[in-house]
Structure 1
Amino acid sequence: MKLKCLLIICLIACSIGLEAQNGYKNPVIPGFNPDPSICRVGDDYYLVTSSFEYFPGLPIYHSKDLVNWRQIGHCLTRDSQLPLQDVPSSGGLFAPSLRYHDGLFYVICTNVSAGGNFYCTATDPAGPWSEPVWVDIDSIDPDIFWDEDGKTYFVTQGNEGIRVTEIDIETGKVIGVERLVWGGIGGRFPEAPHIYKKDGYYYLLLGEGGTEYAHSATIGRSKHIYGPYESCPLNPILTHCNRAGQSNQIQGVGHADFVQAADGSWWAVFLGFRVTHQWSYYHVLGRETFLAPVDWPAGGWPQVNGNGTVSLEMNVPTLPLHPFEKEPVRTEFDTEKLGLEWQYLRNPARDNYSLTERKGSLRMQASPYTLDETKPVSFVGRRQTQHDFRAETQLAFESSKEHEEAGMTLIQSNTHHYDLLTKKINGKSVVQLRVRIGSISYIVAEKTVDGKALKLKIEGTPMQYKFYVADSPNGKYTVLGEMDTRYLSTEVAGGFTGVMIGLYASSNGKPSKAKAYYDWFDYETKE
């Protein structure tokens, strides 16, 4: 009897294991995580994405199976590494690459607003990372390729196509002639280049069509690093800008990077975005990180997921899965530092924040700057990662002047945000829902509250945000207003980022001693 039970348990365990290795959900890193680049070291996978005007810069993720990812750090955590003063929305850091060579990790990137191309190194991808080594090449989307002869090449995007230049990896100094090697298949903005050496060929992968609905990934190959490059007959090897992908909720796929898994299989990570409805082409979450298998036979061309399209539900074999523990819904603000999910807008004025002044609360000093400016407003935010979510906080705002405010915001850029805020009007405390859409700014709704600790809540669906207020910690919520999600979409707001859910405090251009105390913050999604 015991043997029979043991056999049954083993069969159940085996079936669970087999099921766990077949299929996964896209995107694998949801929310504003564009331009993914990946490398493998042993059985570990590491990935970096773009961060633009947010600080710290360039989040680093880790996985054991390519499907489950957890953030382990940022590449750029010091002001000396990442100057973002007065950087406009969607300025700052573009299109990083992540590579490993001779015991060192390299992140290669462009600060389009200050300094240009650079790379940083680390022995541990969680950090700390070195100060930037600057490379004097006027282009963007850089990568580094080490050839078998010991030479090191900088691979970048130029207006006409992809350029390859030999550099000194110790100093970043250019030591070779910059050469245009391939312009792709004719799509606009050939970008995001990566070179791989396989079966005697140099394969050059790039994005084309612009990082919008016509985006794609294309590939060419050559026997020589400087070309000429032959175009793959399957090009584009990844796109939804065709009949096969036109009705897919995932759009704008491209900007890919390849990695070979420990078992020899090949995979692609790439960006894409989820539209809010099949025939409603708006996206608010930003460009996200997706995953697809790649068939790459010896001496042949890579083929992404059979026909170059992907889906939200990927019914394909995976590596043995190693999921991480689910992140808690509530942030208690009872740690020495904010979690890695939190970011500032540009370089923060650090004295404006404290996690120790009032134990168990995030204290935020009101800044004279506002969310409408490209300045270091007092703000911390985290990505909206799913269309269906709940964000909630408890706030006590110590303020006496009518120009002082604090609260929650859904921000796409400094010209497109929805603010749920508390302030004083005629000596009374009120909560307002304020909208900023380009040159239009107005108050949607207003409610008088008792002025003590209150709760604010935002609920999201694909088509709508709903805003709530409760005027005491134990009070019931009332709906203050509703807004369409589309006005915070990239199609309306422009730019390259996605919606961030933030906490902020501002004195609207005047000196202030006002302080906001955030007792906790909840973020819960329906996946």
Structure 2
Amino acid sequence: MIDIKMLIELFVFAGDYNWIGKERAIKMAESTIQYSNPVIPGFHPDPSVCRVGSDFYLVTSSFEYFPGVPIFHSRDLVHWKQIGHCLTRQSQLDLEGCRSSMGIYAPTIRFHNGRFYMITTNVKMFRNFYVWAENPEGPWSDPIWPDWPSVDPSLFFDEDGRVYITGTGGFFGDEPKGIYQAEIDLESGKLLSERRLIWQGTGGKSAEGPHLYRVNGKYFLMIAEGGTEYGHMATIARSDSPYGPFESNPDNPILTHRSTGSSIQATGHADLVQLEDGSWWAVFLGIRPVSVPFSGRHHHLGRETFLAPVTWTEDGWPVIGDGGKIAEKMDASTLPLAVDESAVSETDDFNSNRLQLEWNFLRNPQDEDWSLEERPGYLTLHGSALTLNDIGSPAFVGRRQQHFRCSVSTLMSFDPLHEGEEAGLTVYMNERFHYEIALTCGVEGRRQVIFRRRIGSLWKMELVEDFEGSDIILGLDAEPFQYSFFYSLPNGERKAFGSGECSLVSTEVAGGFTGVFFGLYATGNGKSAKTPASFDWFQYIKS
């Protein structure tokens, strides 16, 4: 991260000594100030943002992972530090039996009268709810369940004190598809008005993800259209009333990369925020596909969070980025850039009594499956009968892959004595698409290192090798096209042990709405394991 003040001072210093003029020095310094997209890399889709004074808070979808709805803080919209999750209890987030890529969709965060509100849909039960907190780090309240049969809900607090709930409808009976809205009582969740269809978009498929704003006396309704794939886009309409009729922007879409060769694709599902200086910015999702020879574009990191400035036309319409387009490097000279505090430690030693915020479970975890206190300084996993092939809550603790190029490794202590006991490291997209390098007890009690791939209905034990001892380092090197796995003794040379294509765990192949996780896991492969696996440390180093 560039130290902005130091950079400007350096250029001005040069100007003072007549190397360049002082005015030109300041312009040169400002022209070098850029930020990189995505601002939150890895599987962080459907971002929503709000500002409280000089602070910004952002949430993203979490689908079948627990805790739910990660929340981030920033002082400049560029550097985001995770500060917690909105949904940390099963009473808030029931994911039992939730299918992959179901669960929590498209949250919206807003701040009003000293409280933060986060509203979302649990698609497992197709119900909307919201929680609130006075501190964004939590604790967040138990859910309030409005009678609102839609998805992608959003809250809007009007200047007259009324509160509106807006969402995507058209899923039941003969109800037309489109964006619906009603007035809501915030304390009880009861609707105070009729639920009304207010806009059906511009004709693109899947009109969804609505947000209502009031700007200069006008109501603006921004939505996503085109589906969250390569035709994704953001469109906007305005009205003199929160219920419309809404006039569509003649220059829609205001954000899209459809039919372009950009390295960033599927941009859409945006949310607007106004800064203290009066300027506007947008956060939104996008993907970074990798072009695979003879196979087309694939993305495996998931849908990520991007940022772009918003300008306003003379006739009062917003424009995101450069005519609806953005780049990986963007001008940051007008942002109040702050010190970057977003970095996560490369190594987790598991010395705390709680997991760091980047770790997630698959669905609601079972307390007996994991512990940080059973063996202090280790993450201990007790393998259950469930495997990574099951739609359930296996003994799994994972974190998102956030960089195309990175190295991951862990030191595991595991003494499997019964056939089928297994523990190790996985590259996990969903229960049908994943790779593992692991230590297991095979037939006749032989301890073995294995490399396995599961691709749809096909699976293969690629490599099997006898191993003596119980302490082993398991790891992988990630490149844009390939994962290369390895293992070693704690103080030994590492040995290459299999590889797998990134494209085979991409959304284009595996389906769904999530991204790749690197996970630590244990299983008894059909029965409870009698031997726990203990992980001394986990290391994630971006290249």
Deviation at 1:12, TM superposition (A): 7.5
User: In the aligned structure 2, how far is the partner of 1:192 from the partner of 1:153?
Assistant: 15
Task: Find the counterpart in structure 1 of residue 20 from structure 2.
Answer: none
Task: Find the counterpart in structure 2 of residue 379 from structure 1.
Answer: 396
User: In the aligned structure 1, how far is the partner of 2:205 from the partner of 2:429?
Assistant: 26
Summarize deviations over 1:424-476 as a string: whole Å, max 9, x none. Answer: 12322111111111111111112221132011111111111101011x20111
Task: Find the counterpart in structure 1 of residue 6 from structure 2.
Answer: none
Q: Does the aligned pair in 1 maintain the 2:400–2:516 contact within 8 Å?
A: yes
Return 51-60 or 310-319, whichever deviates more. Answer: 310-319
Task: Find the counterpart in structure 1 of residue 268 from structure 2.
Answer: 254
Cα distance change of structure 1 residues 43 and 445 upon mapping to structure 2, 3 Å threshold: same
Give the alignment's Cα RMSD to 1 decimal: 1.9
Indicate yes or no: 2:494 matched with 1:477.
yes
Q: How does 1:228-307 map to 2 (within 5 A)?
A: 228-242=245-259, 246-277=260-291, 280-296=296-312, 300-307=316-323
Q: Does the aligned pair in 2 maintain the 1:81–1:132 contact within 8 Å?
A: yes
Deviation at 1:299, TM superposition (A): 5.6
Deviation at 1:298, TM superposition (A): 7.2
Q: Which residue of 110, 116, 122 corresponds with 2:121?
A: 110
Task: Find the counterpart in structure 1 of residue 76 from structure 2.
Answer: 65
Indicate yes or no: 2:55 matched with 1:53.
no
Cα distance change of structure 1 residues 220 and 514 upon mapping to structure 2, 3 Å threshold: same
Q: Does the aligned pair in 2 maintain the 1:22–1:318 contact within 8 Å?
A: no
Q: How many residue pairs are counted as aligned between the two chains? A: 516
Q: How does 1:422-441 map to 2 (within 5 A)?
A: 422-425=439-442, 426-441=444-459
Q: Which residue of 347, 353, 357 corresponds with 1:330?
A: 347
Q: Does the aligned pair in 2 maintain the 1:199–1:299 contact within 8 Å?
A: no
Corresponding residue SS for 1:491 = helix
Can you give the 5+ residue segments of structure 2 that lack an aligned partner in the other structure? 1-8, 16-24, 171-176
Task: Find the counterpart in structure 1 of residue 484 from structure 2.
Answer: 466
Deviation at 1:316, TM superposition (A): 4.7
Task: Find the counterpart in structure 1 of residue 190 from structure 2.
Answer: 173
Deviation at 1:196, TM superposition (A): 0.4
Q: Does the aligned pair in 2 maintain the 1:75–1:107 contact within 8 Å?
A: yes
Task: Find the counterpart in structure 2 of residue 198 from structure 1.
Answer: 215
Q: Which residue of 427, 443, 455 corresponds with 2:473?
A: 455
Deviation at 1:283, TM superposition (A): 0.1
Q: Does the aligned pair in 2 maintain the 1:247–1:278 contact within 8 Å?
A: no
Q: How does 1:65-144 map to 2 (within 5 A)?
A: 65-114=76-125, 116-144=127-155
User: In the aligned structure 2, how far is the partner of 1:154 from the partner of 1:146?
Assistant: 9
Corresponding residue SS for 1:135 = coil
Cα distance change of structure 1 residues 337 and 20 upon mapping to structure 2, 3 Å threshold: farther
User: In the aligned structure 2, how far is the partner of 1:325 from the partner of 1:257?
Assistant: 21
Q: How does 1:33-48 map to 2 (within 5 A)?
A: 33-48=44-59
User: In the aligned structure 1, how far is the partner of 2:434 from the partner of 2:389?
Assistant: 9
Corresponding residue SS for 2:290 = coil
Task: Find the counterpart in structure 1 of residue 330 from structure 2.
Answer: 314
User: In the aligned structure 1, how far is the partner of 2:275 from the partner of 2:304?
Assistant: 21
User: In the aligned structure 2, how far is the partner of 1:511 from the partner of 1:421?
Assistant: 17
Deviation at 1:512, TM superposition (A): 2.5
Can you give the 5+ residue segments of structure 1 that lack an aligned partner in the other structure? 1-6
Task: Find the counterpart in structure 1 of residue 505 from structure 2.
Answer: 488
Return 315-324 or 389-398, whichever deviates more. Answer: 315-324
User: In the aligned structure 2, how far is the partner of 1:31 from the partner of 1:16?
Assistant: 34
Q: Indicate the percent of aligned positions where both proteins have the same amino acid.
A: 48
Q: Does the aligned pair in 1 maintain the 2:11–2:28 contact within 8 Å?
A: no
Cα distance change of structure 1 residues 325 and 258 upon mapping to structure 2, 3 Å threshold: closer
Task: Find the counterpart in structure 1 of residue 13 from structure 2.
Answer: 11
Corresponding residue SS for 2:182 = strand
The one-letter amino acid paired with 1:311 is: A
Return 31-40 or 16-25, whichever deviates more. Answer: 16-25
Q: Does the aligned pair in 2 maintain the 1:446–1:480 contact within 8 Å?
A: no
Cα distance change of structure 1 residues 516 and 207 upon mapping to structure 2, 3 Å threshold: same
Cα distance change of structure 1 residues 126 and 298 upon mapping to structure 2, 3 Å threshold: farther
Cα distance change of structure 1 residues 378 and 297 upon mapping to structure 2, 3 Å threshold: same
Task: Find the counterpart in structure 1 of residue 181 from structure 2.
Answer: 164
Cα distance change of structure 1 residues 12 and 106 upon mapping to structure 2, 3 Å threshold: farther
Q: Does the aligned pair in 1 maintain the 2:292–2:503 contact within 8 Å?
A: no
Summarize deviations over 1:292-350 as a string: whole Å, max 9, x none. Answer: 00002576000111210111111353412111163221100111111000000011111
The one-letter amino acid paired with 1:255 is: H
Indicate yes or no: 2:406 matched with 1:392.
no
Corresponding residue SS for 2:297 = coil
Cα distance change of structure 1 residues 76 and 20 upon mapping to structure 2, 3 Å threshold: farther
Q: Does the aligned pair in 2 maintain the 1:153–1:165 contact within 8 Å?
A: yes
Cα distance change of structure 1 residues 325 and 142 upon mapping to structure 2, 3 Å threshold: closer
Corresponding residue SS for 1:492 = helix
- Normalising to structure 2: TM-score of the pair? 0.92
Deviation at 1:119, TM superposition (A): 0.5
Deviation at 1:277, TM superposition (A): 2.8
User: In the aligned structure 2, how far is the partner of 1:496 from the partner of 1:32?
Assistant: 9
Summarize deviations over 1:374-415 as a string: whole Å, max 9, x none. Answer: 111000000000110100001111321111100000111111
Deviation at 1:153, TM superposition (A): 1.1
Summarize deviations over 1:136-159 as a string: whole Å, max 9, x none. Answer: 111100001122222211100113
Summarize deviations over 1:193-225 as a string: whole Å, max 9, x none. Answer: 000001121100000000000000000001111
Deviation at 1:175, TM superposition (A): 2.1
Task: Find the counterpart in structure 2 of residue 4 from structure 1.
Answer: none
Corresponding residue SS for 2:145 = strand
The one-letter amino acid paired with 2:463 is: A
Q: Does the aligned pair in 2 maintain the 1:221–1:229 contact within 8 Å?
A: yes
Corresponding residue SS for 1:173 = coil
- Normalising to structure 1: TM-score of the pair? 0.95
Task: Find the counterpart in structure 2 of residue 151 from structure 1.
Answer: 162
The one-letter amino acid paired with 2:448 is: V
User: In the aligned structure 2, how far is the partner of 1:72 from the partner of 1:195?
Assistant: 26
Q: Does the aligned pair in 1 maintain the 2:81–2:342 contact within 8 Å?
A: no
User: In the aligned structure 2, how far is the partner of 1:135 from the partner of 1:39?
Assistant: 22
Q: Does the aligned pair in 2 maintain the 1:248–1:278 contact within 8 Å?
A: no
Corresponding residue SS for 1:249 = coil
Q: Does the aligned pair in 2 maintain the 1:96–1:141 contact within 8 Å?
A: yes
Summarize deviations over 1:339-382 as a string: whole Å, max 9, x none. Answer: 00000001111122111222211111111111111111000000
